[in-house]
Chain A
Amino acid sequence: MFDRLFAFLFQLIHNQKRLVIGSVLVLTIAAGIGLFFIRYEGNIDLMLPPDPEVSRSINFLRDSSLSDKIIVSLALTDPTKSKKDLFLAADELAASLRPPLFTKVLSGFSVADVMEEFSLLQYAPQVLDKEDLDSINKDITAPRVSERLGAIYRQSLRPESIFMSSLSRTDPLNIKMLILAKLRALPASMGYDVAIEEGHFISRDGRHAMLIIQTPVPVMDGQRSKELVTELENRLHELPGYVKADMVGGHLHTVSNERVMKRDIKVASAIASIAFLLLFIIVFRDARALFVFVIPLIAVAWAIIIATCIEGRLSYLVIGFGTAIAGISIDYGLLVYIAMKRGADAAQTVKLAKLVSIDALTTMFSFAVLYLSMIRGYHQLALFSVLCVAICLMLSLFVLPLLLSWKQYAIVSDPTIGDRLKSFRWPTKLSVVLWALLTLCAFVLSFSIRFDSDVKKLDGSEPAVLQAEQRFHEVWGGKTNQAILVVQGATYEEAMEKNDIVYREAARAIGAGNISSLALFWPSEKTRKDNSEQWDRFWREGREEKLKRLINGASSAYGFSDRAFTPFFDGLYLHDVNEENPNGVIARLQERFVLRKNDSVSILSFFPDEQKPFEALKDIADKHQGAFIVSGRAMSSSISDFTSKEMRILAPAAILFNVVLAWLFFRNWTETFISLVPLLTGVVWLTGLMAFFKMPLNVVNVIAAIITTGVIVDYGLGMTYEYRYNLRIGTVMAVTLSAVTNVIGAGALLFAGHPALHSTAVAMVICMVSGYLSSIIVVPSLCSILGATKNGGH
């Protein structure tokens, strides 16, 4: 069936030589032009699992404005300059950052605004709850009132009393301390160690100012992030010489990762191209061998265009695999080229086509296994790779022979090519025993392999970005990551009311000091109304009169006048419940704690992203509908669990496909086993060596390993086929050259600075080298041990 179909197609194409070559040329030029218009995706999201918890967290972070911020830390470098100079520079920088790239710049808030908006008798009744009133009640006793009046009297002797003594008239019981305790959570909610001076965020050392810059540019948008960062850098260049700036934010990681990946891909492609060229020129000394080199490049270009049409934007990571896949796909052309150079006849050509097709099929199935994964990035990778391999197979089987058999420039025939390599014999038994021992060792070691689920370690940002972050954290703290407790509701008030309930439980579970929530200093309208009514009842239940009496009794000792605290009593019931200043501090707080979407409102509370508080709050969130937790640590753990689960399906599936295809090819278990030796060796040695060198597996290099199994299984199939059937089509030479090209393709990525690409290269190189060595040393030995060859070649 295969023989007839292949012969028919081969003849058909051979008859339309000019048309076929012309069409390939036109399509390649069109694909080449198309590449200039293709945009790629720079984020790692595509490689993350669609686990509901992870997806919800990722979606939440994407929709929130939390990550759409850049923070700039300005440092005074000249000791003769003062805070005033620093604030001036900060204000000028803030003024220069305008829409559309910068929508809002927060450099601090005015203490005056806080004082005005949070005037005691307007604010306290709304936010002080029953617990606070109980605390006030304890102060309405003769000794406590006398103590307080004494403190107010002593304060009036102090220098600050010039400015502050009148404030005491509205607060004889020092109720402001209860409010200050709540407001203290404000800077803590930022996660940084921030002080506020003259309306500016300032560091504890007084030498750094902070600007929080809001931008509409999504952190995942590579192109616009680049524009944003460039524009901000230009503005920072305008700062005076005595001010140095550090930028921190997700956009810088996006831009830097994209830059590193692009550079790595360029370097890897250049290294691979030069190595391929040298290899062909030195080994073949035949210009036509360059066609073999060109075929994978054509296939990559076509595959990118087709895959983009189907999938939309492809990830840079997928394209990063392009050089490795080019190395993989070159095998088929090599096999065809060497067979033709050796002058293969029609029968050998059909057998060669069978071998090349089964090689390509095993590779395609290895990639296709990734479709069983639920990770979208893996689907992109599978599609791109299957396309690349399929195109390469077609071009190698049908177009390459046309190019090599061009009458005017006939192929330089060399019937002995590869014979020396094939005739070299390794000590049969020794090779097998040594291999078995080493594989056993690797197998034992492989049990200690570690899986690293921390995707942050795949962040390839340049050192300058990381150094700026380190300097930032040294000045402003904030090294401890914060997790977010999200409470959602259909309306703002509904969400706020739910948040009040969840907050009360959360504060009880982990302590009020460990969670920063809007409920603490600006609860829902209902709660504020309840609090106000409670406040009124509290004072009307005789406490107002009692306090007046106690103050009168203690006043004479300190010389207080009869009207000393009239402002407090006059304003006791004059508080407003619904008054909210849209430009005030509450409105600004809402930017941090409230997230509005079309159909829902989320209230955010912040707590340390650590195991204990996470577990305690997770239980609480699970009890309340619309409440959930966004935690980097939890996401990492979910990714680890998800990937482990998927690997338990993908790895056996890939192996099963290979076993089935090998058996279908040989229809014999012994030969199937021998042909799978390189696959077994590659997998076991990879895990064993990585465990030995204490290198972890991660979401990226696991996939690289699976892909590589599809390549090394070809070595086993080819070598078993060659030795068992004595084909003499130059398979040893082809496998060797294939291994060299594969290692060049993947090995070029060893020079990559990006950790995701580098770890991919390490996995692929280990897998390929071990697979190749076992195919040329162990497979022939095992074939030899099994006895006489079968008749298949001449």
Chain B
Amino acid sequence: MTCKLIRSIAAVLLAVLLACPVFAGENPDGGTENLVAFLNALGKKVSDFKTLKTDFTQEKEMAMFKDKLVLKGRIYLEKPNKVAWHVDSPLRYSVLITDKLIRQWDEDTNQVQEISLTKNPIFQNVLNQLTVWFSGDYSSLIEGNAVRIVKRDPLEIEFLPLEKNITKKVIKSITITFRDDQKYLRQIRILEQSGDITTIHFTNTRLNAPLDKSDFEVKGHV
């Protein structure tokens, strides 16, 4: 009797949990088609730039470290597929990501390392994910994630990777918060399956700002 009851409760709970990505939270009109249209419109608004320059602060609450790890730095992005990520503190580090390779440098080793992306499928997948978050192509995420709108003002959207999505192995959820004008992100919060949390705050974001060649250089730039 007790077993049956537990099983019934578990079934109901499971049904509720499974339904969550679709019905929980606030959708524009409750329908997936409208959600796609909404994300498309939002993506168009967010991705309406050729270049991007922004400062960021990344906070990592990781079981691996005693204290919260706080990184400060800058991101330069040039569409379609060029991203430079410079960390200024606590350790100087730069990485350039293109569609073919990544080139990185850090002050500890003072060595430039170049890696072919095609020979590193896992790395490539990770960077593809990052590029999607930064560039605003959110409608493409519908296929691999359950999506829900958490808040309207400021706009906050949560992405829960589906079983078929490779990121499900590592990521529990990704929540993005938009600026008031909804033209770019204010914050990305990533909750890992391990319980680690990474939050990236974007400040001084400038869209279509002119970029120097040196912004994409890694060694000695910082």
Contact = CB atoms under 8 A, between A and B. Distances in A.
Interface of A: 110-112, 115-116, 150, 152, 154, 156-169, 195-198, 204, 206, 559-561, 563-565
Contacts of B198: 162
A159 B95 contact: yes
A156 B69 contact: yes
Nearest to B116: A204
A173 to B, nearest CB: 15
A163 B63 contact: no
A154 B124 contact: no
Contacts of A161: 60
A83 to B, nearest CB: 10
Interface residues of B, number: 43
A163 B104 CA distance: 18
A157 B65 contact: no
A163 B71 contact: no
21 contacts: A112-B169, A116-B169, A150-B108, A154-B91, A154-B108, A156-B69, A157-B91, A159-B127, A159-B130, A160-B130, A161-B60, A162-B190, A163-B167, A165-B64, A166-B193, A166-B196, A169-B63, A195-B119, A197-B124, A561-B63, A563-B63
Nearest to B165: A112
A159 B171 CA distance: 14
A196 B129 CA distance: 16
A156 B60 CA distance: 9
Contacts of A163: 126, 129, 167, 170-171, 192
Contacts of A164: 126, 170
Contact of B166 (A110, A159, A162, A166): A110
A43 to B, nearest CB: 39
B117 to A, nearest CB: 9
A564 B67 CA distance: 12
B216 to A, nearest CB: 15
A156 B121 CA distance: 19
Contacts of B66: 559-561
A112 B168 CA distance: 9
B118 A206 contact: yes
A168 B170 CA distance: 12
A669 B118 CA distance: 79
B87 interface: yes
A445 to B, nearest CB: 54
A166 B170 contact: yes
B62 A156 contact: yes
Contacts of B158: none
Contacts of A150: 108
Contacts of A115: 122, 169
Contacts of B127: 159-160
A167 B122 CA distance: 12
The 5 closest A-B pairs by CB, nearest first: A166-B194, A112-B166, A564-B64, A561-B66, A160-B126
Interface string B9-47: 000000000000000000000000000000000000000
Contacts, number: 99
Contacts of B109: 154
Contacts of B91: 154, 157
Nearest to B109: A154
Contacts of A152: 64
A323 B63 CA distance: 84
A112 B198 CA distance: 22
Contacts of A160: 123, 126-127, 130
Given A115-B122, A160-B126, A163-B129, A561 B64 contact: yes
Contacts of B67: 559
A109 to B, nearest CB: 11
A195 B63 contact: no
Interface in B89-131: 90-91, 93, 95, 97, 104, 106, 108-109, 118-119, 121-127, 129-130
Contacts of B122: 111, 115
Q: With a 10 A CB-CB cut-off, give which of B64, B97, B106, B190 has the most chain A CB atoms.
A: B64
Interface of B: 60, 62-67, 69, 71, 85, 87, 90-91, 93, 95, 97, 104, 106, 108-109, 118-119, 121-127, 129-130, 166-171, 190, 192-194, 196, 198
Q: With a 10 A CB-CB cut-off, give which of B66, B69, B71, B190 has the most chain A CB atoms.
A: B66
Contacts of A196: 121
A163 B67 CA distance: 19
A564 B66 CA distance: 9
Given A154-B91, A154-B93, A196-B121, A560 B126 contact: no
Judged by DSSP, the binding face of A is: mixed
A169 B64 contact: yes
A156 B64 contact: yes
Contacts of B71: 157
B40 to A, nearest CB: 16
A565 B194 CA distance: 13
Contacts of B168: 112
Contacts of B126: 159-160, 162-164
Contacts of A156: 60, 62, 64-65, 69
Contacts of B87: 157
B62 A165 contact: yes
A111 B125 CA distance: 9
A166 B65 contact: no
A163 B171 CA distance: 7
A163 B69 CA distance: 15
Contacts of B190: 162
Nearest to A158: B95
Nearest to A153: B91
A565 B90 CA distance: 22
A150 B91 CA distance: 11
A390 B102 CA distance: 78
A564 B63 contact: yes
Contacts of B95: 158-159
B118 A204 contact: yes
B65 A564 contact: yes
A200 to B, nearest CB: 10
A565 B63 CA distance: 9
Nearest to B92: A157
Q: With a 10 A CB-CB cut-off, give which of A152, A159, A196 has the most chain B CB atoms.
A: A159
A559 to B, nearest CB: 5
Nearest to A564: B64
Contacts of A197: 121, 124-125
Contacts of A560: 64-66
A168 B108 contact: no
Contact of A158 (B104, B118, B125, B167): B104
A561 B67 CA distance: 8
A162 B109 CA distance: 21
Given A156-B64, A163-B167, 8 more contacts: A111-B125, A157-B87, A157-B106, A160-B126, A166-B62, A166-B192, A195-B118, A197-B125
Q: With a 10 A CB-CB cut-off, give which of B65, B85, B124 has the most chain A CB atoms.
A: B65
Contacts of A154: 91, 93, 106, 108-109
A180 B80 CA distance: 31
A4 B192 CA distance: 105
Contacts of B169: 112, 115-116
A401 B118 CA distance: 80
A152 B125 CA distance: 20
Given A156-B69, A157-B71, A157-B93, A165 B196 contact: yes
B89 to A, nearest CB: 10
A165 B192 CA distance: 10
